[in-house]
Amino acid sequence: MALLGPLQELYATSFFSLNLRFFGYNIPALPTFFAIFVTSRVIKLLNGIRSPHPSQSVNYLPGYRVPLQPYTFPSGLFASSWWNVGVDKFWLARTTLLFFNLEYQEFGTETISAVPFIYGVPTLFTSNLDVAKQVLSGQTQPGQLKARHFDKSESANRVLIKWGMNLVAALNGDTWRKHRRIVGPAFNNKLYERVWAETINLYRQIEAGEGWVTKDTIEIPVVQKITTKMALLVIARCGFGLSFDWSAPPISPDGTTSVQESLRILTDSYIVSLIAPDWVRYLPLPGCI
């Protein structure tokens, strides 16, 4: 134990006094690494604001200059604040942003940017319908960016692609247009009318099944239990033609688990499958999928 103190002091002294030999000069390592890191982050920020490649910058659009890209896992670990655009940022700022107020008081434009300088890529947010139409449809005019510049990034697509390739998860325009041609004809006025009618029918079943008809006051501690089940039944009825009732929801082939419960189990462990390596799914631990 007597040698432990000197050894710790020697280690600490050697670590914090580490030098680099550069053309015969001794350069302190830690300040050098810190200066290199800060310089690289400044360059990343400047490139995000204006880069020679249009698809990699926001071209001086006003907005947030933050450490982490919005809607990524690192950003989601922290609450929304002056330095972080969290998942609830635009809800908290709904009274000042044009998304919810005609007066875009904070930035004065319909399209704003978020440029991270530590992690992530530049991000654009818009409330302009013409801009949204161009991005979603891939249609461009002379002098405008080509549609391929608006392809979804893989990092932003991980949440959606877990459910398999679909219209929302399609990364590029060709794949998106292919899925749109397949599912587009199904979305028409006839379907919308049926969704409305089935929703009303299900609400009547909820009133009877939950005993709401005989109550003057109804308390719903967790409204998601009602809305999730209703959405599932509407999709089953209108999308797949399955005649499930509120009191008899769809269940697995062995009759042990309802589809609603299966979705709950999947969503509860969903975040683990996004941030953990693939081999974690094979561990005998609760929540590993």
Q: What pLDDT, in 10s, does the model give residues 203-226?
A: 999 998 888 888 889 888 888 888
The pair of structure tokens assigned to 266 is: 């999947």
Cβ atoms within 10 A of the Cβ of 164, count? 7
Residue 159 has pLDDT above 90, yes or no: no
Q: Same domain for 141 and 50?
A: yes
Q: Is residue 59 a part of any domain in this protein?
A: yes
Q: Model confidence at 12, in pLDDT bands (50, 70, 90)?
A: very low
State the Cα–Cα distance between residues 288 and 280, nearest whole angstrom.
7
Q: Is residue 193 a part of any domain in this protein?
A: yes
Q: Same domain for 67 and 128?
A: yes
Residue 9 has pLDDT above 50, yes or no: no
Q: Same domain for 145 and 194?
A: no
pLDDT tens-place string over residues 117-134: 999 889 888 888 888 877
Q: Is residue 87 a part of any domain in this protein?
A: yes
Q: Is residue 179 a part of any domain in this protein?
A: no
Q: Same domain for 204 and 127?
A: no
Enter the pTM of the model. 0.57
| pLDDT at 13 (0 to 100) | 45
**Helical axes 189-209 vs 224-240, angle rounded to 10°:** 140
| pLDDT at 195 (0 to 100) | 94
- The more confidently predicted of residues 94 and 196 is 196
The number of folded domains in the chain is 2
- The more confidently predicted of residues 283 and 67 is 67
State the Cα–Cα distance between residues 259 and 266, nearest whole angstrom.
10
Q: Same domain for 60 and 142?
A: yes
The pair of structure tokens assigned to 140 is: 């461009």
Residue 99 has pLDDT above 60, yes or no: no
Q: Same domain for 211 and 132?
A: no
Exposure string of 237-260, with b = 16+ CB inside 10 Å and e = fewer, is bbeeeeebebeeeeeeeeeeebbb
**Helical axes 224-240 vs 259-268, angle rounded to 10°:** 120
List the domain range (segments joined by +) for residue 138. Answer: 45-150
| pLDDT at 204 (0 to 100) | 92
Q: Is residue 288 a part of any domain in this protein?
A: no
Residue 234 has pLDDT above 80, yes or no: yes
Q: Same domain for 81 and 131?
A: yes
| pLDDT at 89 (0 to 100) | 81
Interval 27-47 mean pLDDT: 88
Q: Is residue 272 a part of any domain in this protein?
A: yes
What residues pair up with 209 in beta bridges, in sequence order?
none
Interval 171-197 mean pLDDT: 83
